[in-house]
Amino acid sequence: MDLSSDHHEYCTGGFNPEDIVISGISGRFPECDNVGELKEALYSKKDLVVFSPKRFEKGMLNVPYDSCGLLKNLDKFDAGFFRVSTLLANNTDPGGRIHLEVIYEALADAGIDASELSGQNIGIFNATSNDDALHISVEDDGSANSNLYRFVQVGRASFAFNFTGPAYSTDSACSSSAVAFWSAVNNIKSGCIEAAVISGCQLNLHPGMTSGYIKYGVATPTGNSRPFDASSDGMIRSEAIAAVFLQKAKSARRAYATVSTVRFYSAGHITEGATVPPLEIEKKLIRDSLKEVKVDSNEIEYMETHGTGTPIGDPIEVNALSEVFFENRSKPLLIGTIKSNLGHTEACSGLCGMIKALLTFENENIPPNIKYHTPNPNCPALLDGRIVVVTEPTPFKGNYIPVTSIGIGGTLVVTMLKKNPIAYNEYGAEKNLPRLVLFPATTEEAVSFLFDYIRNSPKLSNEFFALLNKLSFTDPSLKPFRGYAIFSEAENAFTLIKVNPFHLLWET
């Protein structure tokens, strides 16, 4: 695949060819195995912070509640698909296994089969901020399993996909994936790489960090995390593993949004301490981001905030926003945080916030916060209504969404995302025409699963089918099972023609 020339019609109108766009997204989230399930959960106001003793039980290291906000199916992995031996798979951090899956899925979401990019100058910028699997290995065996180090996780991904660009892991605590995103954007801008995968991995397998954060006054001691609410007493730790694919518009087959800018500052020396969010630096970061993209603060309708639910952090963030956005503003600023729905995914939280912003663009509707009832009394702008926490699905017509991410070590990132200039309901040709749907996979079950999904999803866009068509051009030695079907939305008809190993298609 030539990334300099391969593009899709949906990325030609309204884009500068050199724009950097998010073209693929994927993830695992608490109680959600993919972005589609996350979308449904967000708009239905589902609380994804479910407590369970699967990772650790209440009372371990004095943590007063069970582990919570957990990913499902950590033990499931198709080792053969990624050409990983059973022995190696069993000795790999479960986050590393899922990391391979979400990268593959993000590429597929961009309409790209991973084999097309083999050998190309693609970077992998990972964010991971704990070593729970390694910690458990040392406790159990008295020595460290070398397969559990962070650098192995990233290196194995480069090896699996045969990407030759830079690959490394970033740790700036809660802002890790936003910092990784910043690194990727700047590497693409400078011409060092053609495209990039940004990933965030957060699994809370051991109670140690939860116990420490509770003692430090950062994590909730009661499990009652309610961002921006008067009753919140800290953040609640949860899990997520996500990936996004970045490339220039001239080579993208789809675009969720354009990255207008991403800026990364550090707090420096402040009298409040190294772990307190710096009000003045946060204000400067937001103002500089708006100035760089030549956007007036009045053009910002909604902001996806860091919003963790801590008694110190929430007021500082809200008060910074009130000073930046209300110098000459008459309408309220809407804010939200995905952490109200799924908890604080720490190293992955920046990507989670971006994915929520992309869903807002795509659906022209802001997913609601949950657990917000009484404004934090230390946030005057919430009390007087200048800033409003979104608590119901809310129509959105804006063109920009800033996403903030703040690390407990003093790092701050603002990512300014710009809406896709093409309306989603304007895509493609006449939807009533029957479609020939082609799909290759490594197993017959995978082909059937995809066709079942199409059959049960009557409102799929023309873009979906166009990207799916791109995925059909795959080396049959890599995906030997091929499915063919006729689909007609107008008649609600779906006719499966054949699912067979590739070499048998010529014999039937």
By mean pLDDT, which of 75-89, 253-267, 306-320, 491-505 is the weakest? 491-505
Residue (of 351, 389, 426, 348) closest to 71 by Cα position: 348
- Give the pLDDT confidence score for residue 477 in this predicted structure: 67
Going by pLDDT thresholds of 50, 70 and 90, the confidence category of residue 431 is low
Q: What is the dihedral of CA 361, 366, 371, 373, to 10 degrees?
A: 150
> Is 306 among the catalytic positions?
yes
Q: Which residue has the higher pLDDT, 140 or 496?
A: 140
Q: Which residues pair with 154 in a beta bridge?
A: none
> Is 174 among the catalytic positions?
yes
Q: What is the dihedral of CA 77, 80, 81, 87, to 10 degrees?
A: 50
Locate the DSSP E strands across 249-307.
257-266, 302-304
Is the per-residue pLDDT at 349 higher than 90?
yes
Q: Which of 7, 8, 99, 344 is catalytic?
A: 344
Average pLDDT, the chain: 89
Tokens representing 309 are 């639910």
Q: Is 233 exposed, middle or buried (0-12, 13-18, 19+ CB in 10 A)?
A: middle
Q: 354-404, pLDDT tens digit by residue?
A: 999 999 999 999 999 999 999 999 999 999 999 999 999 999 999 999 999
Is the per-residue pLDDT at 130 higher than 70?
yes
- Give the pLDDT confidence score for residue 200 in this predicted structure: 97
Check if the beta carbon of residue 431 is closer than 8 Å to that of residue 199: no
Q: Which of 306, 348, 352, 379 is catalytic?
A: 306
Domains and CATH numbers, the chain: 20-258 (3.40.47.10), 260-419 (3.40.47.10), 435-500 (no CATH)
Q: Which of 174, 201, 352, 379 is catalytic?
A: 174
- Give the pLDDT confidence score for residue 507 in this predicted structure: 41
For residues 254-264, average pLDDT: 96
- Give the pLDDT confidence score for residue 505 in this predicted structure: 43
Q: Residues 6 or more apart from 76 whose CB is under 8 A from it?
A: none
Is the per-residue pLDDT at 187 higher than 70?
yes
Is the per-residue pLDDT at 111 higher than 60?
yes
Answer whether 0.75 is exceeded by the pTM: yes
What is the rounded distance in angstroms from the CA atom of residue 400 to the CA atom of residue 415?
A: 10
By mean pLDDT, which of 115-129, 173-187, 239-253, 419-433 is the weakest? 419-433
Q: Residues 6 or more apart from 423 whose CB is under 8 A from it?
A: none
By mean pLDDT, which of 170-174, 240-244, 301-305, 492-496 is the weakest? 492-496
For residues 312-322, average pLDDT: 96
For residues 327-355, average pLDDT: 96
